[in-house]
Amino acid sequence: MGVVTDRRTVLRAGLAMLGGAAGTVAAGCSPGRSHGPTGPAASGSTATVGGTPTLGPAQSWDAFAGRLAGQLVRPTDSDYDRARALFDPAFDTVRPQGIAYAANPADVAEAVRFAQATGVGLAARCGGHSYAGYSTSDGLVIDVTRMNQVSVAGNGIATVGGGTRLIKLYTDLAGAGRSMGGGSCPTVGIAGLTLGGGIGVLGRLYGLTCDQLTGADVVLASGERLNVDENHDADLFWALRGGGGGNVGIVTAFRFATRPTRSLTLFSVRWPWSAAADVITTWQQWITGKLGVMPDTLWSTVVAGSVPGGSAPTLRISGVFAGDRAGLNGPLADLRAALRSVTPVSASIVDHDYLTAMRLEGGCSASGDICGSTAGISAGARRPGQKAASAILLTPIAPAGVDVLARQVEERQRDPLAKASGGIILDSWGGAISRVSPSDTAFVHRNAIASVQYFASYPAGAPAENVQAAHGWVRDTAAAAAPYVSDQAYQNYIDPDLANWAQAYYGANLPRLTAVKRHYDPDNLFRFAQSIPS
Ligand SMILES: Cc1cc2nc3c(=O)[nH]c(=O)nc-3n(C[C@H](O)[C@H](O)[C@H](O)COP(=O)(O)OP(=O)(O)OC[C@H]3O[C@@H](n4cnc5c(N)ncnc54)[C@H](O)[C@@H]3O)c2cc1C
């Protein structure tokens, strides 16, 4: 039996091998470009002396700290470096003036009012996994991770604190015998994931994470707190389901429909690289039902990744079947029959309970607490980085496009500056995701059959040339693949280099999103380089 490899493991593959100084900043990746130091015009309580804003007593940072039930961390505090860090070290250069750990929704409202009154820029932060660093700011970071309680009511509706990380969510739900579909990375935050859609191993069965949302508590730019659902502020509720994190308010709690837990079967088949074109083309036929019935209970992914120091890239089809392994036999036989001329390198099929499966999919051990820790996220700590871009597939990539992608992965394999893995990840969509109309929620990509992600990692402390090589490869690969994929991109794989990003993320839903934004955030308090235009 081989080891099932998931997206996160692959994204991190090859990252453990090199050392060096931490915090190398990727060119074009600094969020300093995207977060202005000031927010909208100050409301009168901020004076400017010699160009430097001075705060009146009521609006001083100290007074603000005193009004919080939670904690305000400032640059002189000993835990400042840890407090300001995001998941990716590329954003370690950003030095917020304060990080407010909100203990409750009133703290979030207080922080929003402070930002309004002082004009200091703000960013909401949950799991801190924004690819572009949009959850930090050189002004105020409003961190919601202390609001991470999960409870399940008798009707199966889970109330989930707005700062809950996925592994805690899955663990707490499983403890109540319940489950839901989310993403794979254990430290990703429920807020960013849900607000941008949320794809994961149960997506074809239960829909996007945002499709399972039944309501939310939101703090608006005015500091007002709303409880929204289909019948209350329905436009805002619509925007929260796919309109992207950080755009229209700060969510302090989510309510999700959950399902009883069920066993999940994890499978993985590794193929020889020489068969890459055949395997990728056949996988596309398989997931679109051309080889036989493709049940909603089956999600799968193809990962084609370079191996630093290796002789050839690796190629894997893996996935999750919601049920025991007997149900997987038919679909797997269809795949194997279509690829009968190719001998797999290895294969594994293992069934697990829901929580164990979600842990393994997230790259965690089957049990234990290593996933619950966020200790690895610390500015200055030596940790790897990555660059990624994405596209949505509305139809299968034509054979010529598949060849282009395979050649790109080979180029990354040959690049002496590639010190960590790079490659492509194709995830199957469809099923329940496609049964929601593109206009029913803000998430427009309902007709997708799959997504493709181009990623390149670099080791902790990698020199600039390695970082640039990773960025250059992703940029070149996205450009080379463009003729073969749609012009849509997944808003949760947010890409600061994407030119036509608003259309790519939101398409026909952009006008309605813009109207919602204008209504609920008329002064454009919640803004960053790729926030909804107002
Ligand atoms: C290793 C890794 C694995 C991933 N795996 C998956 C996956 O399996 N499926 C998937 O769909 N995506 C995946 N993603 C992408 C992920 O969904 C996005 O990066 C998401 O935005 C992360 O959410 P976060 O809360 O962790 O990030 P953050 O950086 O905290 O926030 C992201 C955005 O949301 C805003 N925000 C944060 N909290 C709030 C709040 N309470 N209210 C309003 N806005 C808020 C921030 O300001 C920012 O703009 C992955 C990303 C990484 C780095």
Assess if residue 37 is contained within a domain. yes
Listed residues 143, 169, 204: the one ending a domain: 143
Do both 189 and 107 map to the same domain?
no
Q: Whose CA is nearest to atom 7 of ligand 1?
A: 183
Residue 8 — pLDDT band, cuts 50, 70, 90?
very low
d(CA 248, CA 196): 12
Torsion of CA 205, 211, 478, 447, to 10 degrees: 70
Looking at every residue in the chain, the average pLDDT score rounds to: 89
φ and ψ of 301, to 5 deg: -145, 150
Assess if residue 481 is contained within a domain. no
Among the ranges given (51-60, 63-72, 159-168, 310-319), the one the predictor scored with the smallest mean pLDDT? 51-60
Q: Is the predicted pLDDT of residue 161 greater than 60, yes or no? A: yes
Q: Do the beta carbons of residue 191 and residue 126 sit within 8 Å?
A: yes
Residue 369 — pLDDT band, cuts 50, 70, 90?
low
In ligand 1, the atom with minimum distance to the C-alpha of 108 is 41
Q: Ligand 1 centroid to 205 CA: how many Å?
A: 22
Do both 127 and 178 map to the same domain?
no
Interval 430-444: pLDDT, tens: 999 999 999 999 999
Assess if residue 284 is contained within a domain. no
Assess if residue 80 is contained within a domain. yes
The pairing of strands 225-228 and 213-219 is antiparallel
Interval 217-229: pLDDT, tens: 999 999 999 999 9
d(CA 497, CA 390): 11
Q: Do the beta carbons of residue 239 and residue 194 sit within 8 Å?
A: no
Residue 381 — pLDDT band, cuts 50, 70, 90?
confident
Task: Answer whether 115 contacts ligand 1 (Cβ < 6 A).
Answer: no
Do both 55 and 78 map to the same domain?
yes
Interval 197-246: pLDDT, tens: 999 999 999 999 999 999 999 999 999 999 999 999 999 999 999 999 99
Task: Answer whether 105 contacts ligand 1 (Cβ < 6 A).
Answer: no
d(CA 243, CA 509): 9
Residue 371: the pLDDT is: 67
Task: Supply the DSSP string of 115-141, one letter for each residue.
Answer: HHHH-B-EEEESS---TT-TT--SSEE
Distance of alpha carbon 518 from the chain centroid: 25
Q: Do the beta carbons of residue 105 and residue 217 sit within 8 Å?
A: yes
φ and ψ of 393, to 5 deg: -100, 120
Residue 54 — pLDDT band, cuts 50, 70, 90?
low
Task: Answer whether 199 contacts ligand 1 (Cβ < 6 A).
Answer: yes
Listed residues 143, 170, 199: the one ending a domain: 143
In ligand 1, the atom with minimum distance to the C-alpha of 130 is 29
d(CA 253, CA 144): 10
Do both 137 and 156 map to the same domain?
no
- When divided into structural domains, the chain yields a total of 2
Q: Whose CA is nearest to atom 41 of ligand 1?
A: 251
Closest CA to 448 of 466, 459, 432: 432
Q: Ligand 1 centroid to 198 CA: how many Å?
A: 9
One-letter amino acid at 365 equals: S
Q: What is the CATH number of the domain that holds 95?
A: 3.30.43.10
Q: Whose CA is nearest to atom 32 of ligand 1?
A: 192
Among the ranges given (68-82, 170-184, 369-383, 445-459), the one the predictor scored with the smallest mean pLDDT? 369-383
Do both 118 and 137 map to the same domain?
yes
- To test ligand 1's pocket by mutation, which of 94, 112, 125 has the most ligand atoms within 8 angstroms of CB? 125
Q: Ligand 1 centroid to 57 CA: how many Å?
A: 35
Residue 383 — pLDDT band, cuts 50, 70, 90?
confident
Q: Whose CA is nearest to atom 52 of ligand 1?
A: 129
Q: Whose CA is nearest to atom 42 of ligand 1?
A: 250
In angstroms, the Cα distances linking 419 to 29, 79, 231, 415, 473 are 19, 31, 52, 9, 13
Residue 534: the pLDDT is: 85
Q: What is the CATH number of the domain that holds 236?
A: 3.30.465.10
Residue 355: the pLDDT is: 96
Residue 14: the pLDDT is: 30
Q: Is the predicted pLDDT of residue 512 greater than 80, yes or no? A: yes
> 3-state class of 499 per DSSP?
coil
pLDDT (average), residues 333-358? 97
Among the ranges given (39-48, 305-314, 463-472), the one the predictor scored with the smallest mean pLDDT? 39-48
Extract the tokens encoding 16.
């453990």
Assess if residue 108 is contained within a domain. yes
Q: Do the beta carbons of residue 184 and residue 169 sit within 8 Å?
A: no
Task: Answer whether 279 contacts ligand 1 (Cβ < 6 A).
Answer: no
Do both 37 and 138 map to the same domain?
yes
d(CA 242, CA 444): 8
Residue 370: the pLDDT is: 62
d(CA 269, CA 45): 62
Higher pLDDT, 365 or 238: 238
Do both 99 and 185 map to the same domain?
no
Task: Answer whether 189 contacts ligand 1 (Cβ < 6 A).
Answer: yes
d(CA 266, CA 269): 11
Q: Checking phi first, is residue 44 left (phi over 0); if not, alpha (psi -120 to 50) or beta?
A: left
Task: Answer whether 35 contacts ligand 1 (Cβ < 6 A).
Answer: no
Do both 103 and 155 map to the same domain?
no
Residue 247 contacts by C-beta under 8 Å, 6 or more apart in sequence? 195, 239, 513, 517, 521, 526, 531, 532
Task: Answer whether 11 contacts ligand 1 (Cβ < 6 A).
Answer: yes
Task: Answer whether 532 contacts ligand 1 (Cβ < 6 A).
Answer: no
Task: Answer whether 425 contacts ligand 1 (Cβ < 6 A).
Answer: no
Cα 230–233–234 angle (5° rounding)? Answer: 35
φ and ψ of 445, to 5 deg: -85, 55
Distance of alpha carbon 98 from the chain centroid: 24
Assess if residue 207 is contained within a domain. yes
Do both 225 and 175 map to the same domain?
yes
In ligand 1, the atom with minimum distance to the C-alpha of 12 is 1
Residue 51 — pLDDT band, cuts 50, 70, 90?
very low
Residue 228: the pLDDT is: 98
Listed residues 120, 143, 166: the one ending a domain: 143
Q: Do the beta carbons of residue 385 and residue 89 sit within 8 Å?
A: yes
Do both 241 and 210 map to the same domain?
yes
For 171, the domain range is: 150-260+508-520
Task: Answer whether 516 contacts ligand 1 (Cβ < 6 A).
Answer: no
Task: Answer whether 424 contacts ligand 1 (Cβ < 6 A).
Answer: no
Q: Is the predicted pLDDT of residue 16 greater than 70, yes or no? A: no
Q: Whose CA is nearest to atom 43 of ligand 1?
A: 250
Task: Answer whether 134 contacts ligand 1 (Cβ < 6 A).
Answer: yes
Residue 413 contacts by C-beta under 8 Å, 6 or more apart in sequence? 306, 307, 310, 312, 313
One-letter amino acid at 408 equals: Q
Q: Ligand 1 centroid to 111 CA: how many Å?
A: 21
In 86-212, where do the E strands start and end? 98-101, 122-125, 140-143, 150-152, 157-161, 178-179
Assess if residue 209 is contained within a domain. yes
pLDDT (average), residues 264-291? 98
Among the ranges given (15-29, 206-220, 324-338, 486-500), the one the predictor scored with the smallest mean pLDDT? 15-29
Task: Answer whether 195 contacts ligand 1 (Cβ < 6 A).
Answer: yes
Task: Answer whether 162 contacts ligand 1 (Cβ < 6 A).
Answer: yes
Q: Do the beta carbons of residue 304 and residue 405 sit within 8 Å?
A: yes
Interval 292-316: pLDDT, tens: 999 999 999 999 999 999 999 999 9
Q: Is the predicted pLDDT of residue 485 greater than 60, yes or no? A: yes
Residues composing the chain = 534
Do both 134 and 103 map to the same domain?
yes
Task: Answer whether 183 contacts ligand 1 (Cβ < 6 A).
Answer: yes
Q: Whose CA is nearest to atom 34 of ligand 1?
A: 245
Q: Is the predicted pLDDT of residue 373 greater than 50, yes or no? A: yes
Task: Supply the DSSP string of 390-411, one letter for each residue.
Answer: EEEESSPPPHHHHHHHHHHHHH
In angstroms, the Cα distances linking 25 to 168, 172, 307, 386, 472 are 31, 36, 23, 11, 14
Do both 80 and 125 map to the same domain?
yes
Q: Whose CA is nearest to atom 5 of ligand 1?
A: 185
Task: Answer whether 430 contacts ligand 1 (Cβ < 6 A).
Answer: no
Element containing residue 505 per DSSP (H, E): helix 501-506
In 292-433, where do the E strands start and end? 298-305, 314-322, 346-352, 385-393, 422-428
d(CA 125, CA 405): 34
Residue 504: the pLDDT is: 98
Residue 372: the pLDDT is: 57
Q: Ligand 1 centroid to 55 CA: how many Å?
A: 32
Task: Answer whether 191 contacts ligand 1 (Cβ < 6 A).
Answer: yes
Torsion of CA 531, 526, 196, 184, to 10 degrees: 120
Distance of alpha carbon 295 from the chain centroid: 25
Higher pLDDT, 384 or 331: 331
Q: Is the predicted pLDDT of residue 52 greater than 70, yes or no? A: no
Assess if residue 312 is contained within a domain. no
d(CA 153, CA 149): 13
Task: Report the percentage of the chain scoring pLDDT > 90.
Answer: 84
